[in-house]
Structure 1
Amino acid sequence: MPEYVTTSADYLELRGRVRRAGLLEPAPAFYARTTVVTLGLLGGGFAGIVLADGPAARLALCVPLAFAYGRAGLLVHDLGHRQVFRSQRATTVAGLLLGNLIMGWSWSWWVADHNGHHRHPNRIGRDPSLARTFTAFTERDAVRSRGFVRLMMRHQAVLEVPLYSFVALLFLIESITTLVRGRARLVAVEATLMLAHYPGYLALVMTRLSVGQAVLIMVVQKALFGLYAGSVVAPNHKGMPLLDAADELGFVARQVVTARNVVGSPLVDLWYGGLNSQIEHHLFPTMARNRLPAARPIVRAFCAERGIPYAQTGVLGSYREILGFLARTSAPLRVHPARERP
């Protein structure tokens, strides 16, 4: 067993240090500003596309609109962690409006899936984030794959970034599956809001565009949103240690060793929206996102005291680790592409 196994007492000690620094207090002013700015970016993005002249200009404006949707996605994430409101009712109402109506995916699916990831980060068979159709996280999964999935996994390192463009489609499929199976408490409400998203989106841009042009704008914007969302999410855990069912590291060690922080310039912090402090986010999921960077030195010092590995790297370094991991995991498929399951 590693020397950095931790106990509940370790977490209480760390939490006490963070609380004394005032980092666990609610941040209503931050979220008020964030909400106003996010809605402004969304409104400005749609207005720009409607008012722009020519298809090239409209397609170019899908870039800032995709960024705006990415910021809205970060706000949905924070709502799911009860960072914005402490009230369950307010959180649910805001989550349904922002998640189902504005983003077009199921709020219930998102909360259940993401909370499952937080409970079992990088644990094989338990972390929903490891259940991806075209990605093998272990050599065993790669070798057991068949057909088109096997072909995709064989080249998964090359396809990693391009596949981000399908994130919105993946979210939609997962959402529909959740609602069809009745796994949401408010199935009718969620389905109605989700269904309203797509005609509502098209109606916003069809004042000057044809149906075909409007659909093209939506497809391009959602693909660009996927590229943005994927770039924010992938560096958090991919390529970090995987845990098995017998893991007994304890909460602190489990959350720290499976996550990676991404450091760099203020532009990096802006791009990731604060979630590049992923280690701190996993330790304190209800902590307001703007306070995560301030928690870094406290957590890092604590980990140094306990001998817990604390991973951080730059953006390019994170992708070297991710792509290297994916290439190693799928290597058996390239050496023995026709090997059958043992």
Structure 2
Amino acid sequence: MTSVTLTRRRGRDDDFATLSREVRHAGLLDRRHAYYLVKIIANLAVFAAGWVAFVAIGDSWWQLLTAVFFAAMFAQLAFIGHDAGHKQIFRDRRTNDAVGYLHGGLVGLSYDWWVGKHTRHHANPNHEDDDPDLDIPALAFTRDQARNKRGFLRWMAKHQAALFFPLLLLEGLNLHWSSIKHVWRGDGRARGLEAGLLIAHLAAYLTAVFAVLSPLTGLAFIAVHQGLWGVYMGCSFAPNHKGMPTLPPGHRLDYLRKQVLTSRNVSGGRWVDFVLGGLNYQTEHHLFPSMPRPNLRRAQALVQGFCDRHRIDYAQCGLVRSYGYVLRHLRAVGAPLRHETEARTI
């Protein structure tokens, strides 16, 4: 389905109101305090145990295995920050923000920067002008974006499907750098708090690494940890919208169709729910951002059934296939640039 056909599809504004009543009647917007209490305590306990093991192992190349562990734990902690940013944990903003700032500090991210960016994405998913997740210099998600690339970025757009996973190795550093820039510019609501959290994180992280490990082992640990964390984060978010239809300026889709037609769910059972932090229920999450994570699984059947009855395309596939769709889309977007190069060489 192309962006052109999307502009011709109209939905009825009352469809979402009907679906919303069904969701509320099923209790799917009720808070799950016990779930999040157990989840947060378990995460923090495992995270602390990991650092105890890190010190106990000492200066050893076995620490590269702990780097893999911490990459996974950083992602799990970031997922809690994501839920707090959407007010999934508590109803009031202040308590959610307290949880969000704490978890942002633990992984070295600006919670305030992420909330602002992610809110803009939710308001305009896959919008060619307004979705910040489509504004990534190293990648092109539409052919217009690809044609407008110049120099080295144009070369990257030609080969972006092959470069996609290697580029994710840098995503962790990009998240840290974006956070630092946000706080440095003073754009956030709590600049002093976040500056203190980012400085404390960096100081504690580097002190722990280089107090225990030799310089070479420490650098290898950081490279593995930050690289794999970036891959984990990228692999958690990329399948949700990449390769789905993009929305041009002036589209006339209602809220329900705008969210459903641009989102893709990832099936696979409870292990996928855990690994992806509930983001595999992307359609339900976009329709009801404040719905607690454990309720998304129950909401999926209800939302899919509603879409089927109203003949609204509902996308869902397995985890591996979702990455295939992402890579296929990236390759298709870069194809005109490759053909252009081939034509010049003939």
CA deviation after TM superposition for structure 1 residue 94, in Å: 2.1
Q: Any idea what the Cα deviations from partners look like across 1:236-275, whole Å, max 9, x if unmatched?
A: 0000000011111100000000000010243222211221
Segment drifting more, 149-158 vs 122-131: 149-158
Structure 1, unpaired ranges of 5+: none
Task: Indicate yes or no: 2:56 matched with 1:51.
Answer: yes
1-side partners of 2:341 and 2:193: how far apart? Answer: 47
2-side partners of 1:337 and 1:319: how far apart? Answer: 27
**Corresponding residue for 1:30?**
35
Task: Indicate yes or no: 2:87 matched with 1:82.
Answer: yes
TM-score calculated relative to the size of structure 1: 0.94
What is the SS of the residue equivalent to 1:184? coil
CA deviation after TM superposition for structure 1 residue 45, in Å: 2.0
Partners of 2:81 and 2:101 within 8 A in 1 = no
Of all paired residues, the percent bearing the same amino acid is 37
1-side partners of 2:176 and 2:285: how far apart? Answer: 26
**Amino acid corresponding to residue 5 of structure 1 in structure 2:** R
Candidates 84, 96, 115, aligned match of 1:91: 96
Candidates 291, 294, 319, aligned match of 2:295: 291
2-side partners of 1:290 and 1:231: how far apart? Answer: 21
What is the SS of the residue equivalent to 1:115? helix
**Corresponding residue for 1:160?**
164
Partners of 2:84 and 2:100 within 8 A in 1 = yes
Candidates 237, 243, 263, aligned match of 2:241: 237
Task: Indicate yes or no: 2:193 matched with 1:227.
Answer: no
Structure 2, unpaired ranges of 5+: none
Q: Counterparts in 2 of 1:1-342, with a 5 A limit?
A: 5-52=10-57, 55-99=60-104, 101-337=105-341
1-side partners of 2:23 and 2:278: how far apart? Answer: 17
Aligned structure 1 segments of 4 or more residues deviating by more than 4 angstroms: 1-4
Q: Any idea what the Cα deviations from partners look like across 1:124-167, whole Å, max 9, x if unmatched?
A: 11000001011101112112211111121111001111111111
Partners of 1:4 and 1:306 within 8 A in 2 = no
CA RMSD after TM alignment: 1.9
CA deviation after TM superposition for structure 1 residue 8, in Å: 3.4
CA deviation after TM superposition for structure 1 residue 182, in Å: 2.2
CA deviation after TM superposition for structure 1 residue 339, in Å: 9.2
Segment drifting more, 191-200 vs 49-58: 49-58
1-side partners of 2:10 and 2:183: how far apart? Answer: 39
Instruction: Flag the 1:180–1:337 CA change in 2: closer, same or farther, 3 A.
Output: farther
Partners of 2:141 and 2:330 within 8 A in 1 = yes
Partners of 1:81 and 1:285 within 8 A in 2 = yes
